[in-house]
Amino acid sequence: MKKHTLAIGAFLCLGFTACSQQKPNIVFIYADDLGYGDLGCYGATQVHTPNIDRLSKNGLRFTNAHASSATCTPSRYSILTGQYAWRKAGTGIAPGDAAALIKPNRTTWPSVLKQAGYTTAAIGKWHLGLGEDGKGPDWNNEIKPGPLEIGFDYAYYMPATLDRVPCVYVENHRVVNLDPADPITVSYKNPIGDWPTGKDHPELLKMQSSPGHGHNQTIVNGIGRIGYMTGGKAALWNDETIADTLVAKTQNFIRLHSSQPFFVYLATGDIHVPRDPNNRFKNKSGLGARGDAILQLDWTVGEVLKTLDSLQLTQNTIIIVTSDNGPVVDDGYQDGSVENLGTHKPAGELRGGKYSAFDAGTRVPFIVHWPRQVKPGVSAALISQIDLPISFTSFTHQSIPAGEMPDGFDMTNVLLGRSQKGRTSVIEHAGTLAIIEGDWKYIKPGKGPRINKLVNIELGNDEQPQLYNLKTDIREQHNVAAQHPDITAKLAASLQRIEES
Ligand code: NG6
Ligand code: CA
């Protein structure tokens, strides 16, 4: 009897197993705090990103792609689960000792790919909590649940952000290089141990924390962090070699699994604070540490590409490069980024930045590169990162339990450039919620501050409803809610419907 014929994506073959050799690998590179205007291919002229620009030139560059939130933890929660983070309490920026936010056995982007026969890896920044509810991570023993419990076969990661303790790598379930005689203790409440803090010993710092930001608790590698730690000396990471380490781990994983389909979720430390790139990049951009970190990010992408090239895997690997939220220049350290910004515009022409309901909070670079299938070009289709899990579920012909990944849409054809018909609407989350529908954007009224003075970013909060026509006013300068009460009401109703669904 003739077997069922599958004809999606790269697969045109009889039966699923016969196609397995052709399944494209997937390398997802998630930059941290990279803005819409930070790459040459998105208009930057003051910083050079040749590797990412090459991907863009030979791939599909999206101009209206969104992270689901304007900060890290909720964006990452959404991209792995396909559920808007604001539906679930406790998914805001996670402290470094938070318990695992995504529960074991939940259907996730990696778990579906694993089911489809992929070997999966999470390398880089985690920031989605670790360990059991009510307990959190046990740094000196098995750290779980974590990435391995939600679908990753391999994980090598920084637990939270680079500015939070503990400053150690975890490989699968264990802190790397931990000496059992020197156990790690972490507290986000009280000082512990006798390691100096930035507050008491600013003379020991290689970069001062910005006034009012904190970042002045335990000093690790000359950098004041958020939170207190002691112990684990042999396990401490070196900030200047984080990018090198993540590249090496990625290369190893790819080499080891080059004969089977693989999925790498590579979440870079760049360009989040503290920005302490390798000497190869220090003072090379002329834009201060933030620009130097962009150079390091671009190098990272280049190295991954080289590895794929050397293994002749580039043709059949889908590479996606994007960012978890918009840009911020001073997010806690005086690293020269403000003084040296010059004419560089991290958000391009957009208003706001990280933390903001204005578009720069969530509209981010998004590039898809797959020479075998994706024609080079530019797509203005509206998409969200939250669409990735369900799109790859469809792409790999997997089925998932009803109700999982509720907020994503199957955007396979859009991601592969076969269609420009993106979503009809998307929600942007930054404390308050906003919705884009067609040319219009509505920001729900809220009492939050208009500006986050610490980071000097307009948050988009207003007690009045806001309506912008993004087609004629991409900079969100003219609130036309009063002139268009009908459109305002329509978008408010759409947002409410999605919120209540
Ligand atoms: C903020 C930190 C900021 C950064 C951010 C998380 C302060 C004043 N600021 O709370 O430095 O760590 O959290 O960034 O503590 S994110 O990209 O992981 O969301
Ligand atoms: Ca971030």
Ligand 1 binding pocket includes 159 (Cβ within 6 Å): no
Ligand 1 atom at minimal distance to the Cα of residue 127:
18
Q: Is 4 a residue whose pLDDT tops 50?
A: no
**Global pTM?**
0.96
Give the per-residue pLDDT at 13: 38
Residue closest by Cα to atom 16 of ligand 1: 72
Distance CA 41, CA 34 (A): 13
The verdict on ipTM greater than 0.90 is yes
Residue tagged 């070009």 (tokens): 377
Distance CA 490, CA 472 (A): 19
CB-based burial, 64-79: b 16+ in 10 Å, e otherwise: bbbbbbbbbbbbbbbb
Residue-wise pLDDT tens digits, 464-492: 999 999 999 999 999 999 999 999 999 99
33 — alpha (psi -120 to 50), left (phi > 0) or beta? Answer: left
Q: In testing the pocket of ligand 1, which one of 34, 75, 161 has its CB within 8 Å of the most ligand atoms?
A: 161
Distance CA 349, CA 352 (A): 10
Residue tagged 């004419």 (tokens): 343
Ligand 1 binding pocket includes 72 (Cβ within 6 Å): yes
Q: What is the mean pLDDT of the segment spanning 221-228?
A: 98
Give the per-residue pLDDT at 164: 98
Distance CA 235, CA 184 (A): 9
Q: What is the mean pLDDT of the segment spanning 370-380?
A: 97
Residue that wins the pLDDT comparison between 431 and 202: 202
Give the per-residue pLDDT at 361: 98
Mean pLDDT of the chain: 95
* Whether 156 contacts 123, CB under 8 Å: yes
Q: Is 320 a residue whose pLDDT tops 90?
A: yes
Strands 65-66 and 383-384, bridge-based pairing: parallel
Collapse the DSSP code of 333 into the 3-class scheme (helix H, G, I; strand E, B; otherwise coil) and give the result: strand
Give the per-residue pLDDT at 17: 41
Ligand 1 binding pocket includes 273 (Cβ within 6 Å): yes
Ligand 1 binding pocket includes 188 (Cβ within 6 Å): no
Q: What is the mean pLDDT of the segment spanning 426-436?
A: 97
Give the per-residue pLDDT at 183: 98
Q: What is the mean pLDDT of the segment spanning 376-402?
A: 98
Percent share of the chain, pLDDT over 90: 95
Q: Is 400 a residue whose pLDDT tops 70?
A: yes
| Residues 384, 388, 393: CA angle, nearest 5 degrees | 145
Distance CA 501, CA 497 (A): 6
Give the per-residue pLDDT at 105: 85
Q: Is 5 a residue whose pLDDT tops 90?
A: no
Q: Is 39 a residue whose pLDDT tops 60?
A: yes
Supply the Cα-derived Rg of the chain in whole angstroms. Answer: 22
Distance CA 407, CA 499 (A): 10
Residue 324 Cα, ligand 2 centroid: separation in angstroms? 5
Distance CA 237, CA 313 (A): 31
Q: What is the mean pLDDT of the segment spanning 288-301?
A: 99
Binning pLDDT at 50, 70 and 90, where does residue 9 land?
A: very low
Q: What is the mean pLDDT of the segment spanning 304-320?
A: 98
Distance CA 281, CA 294 (A): 9
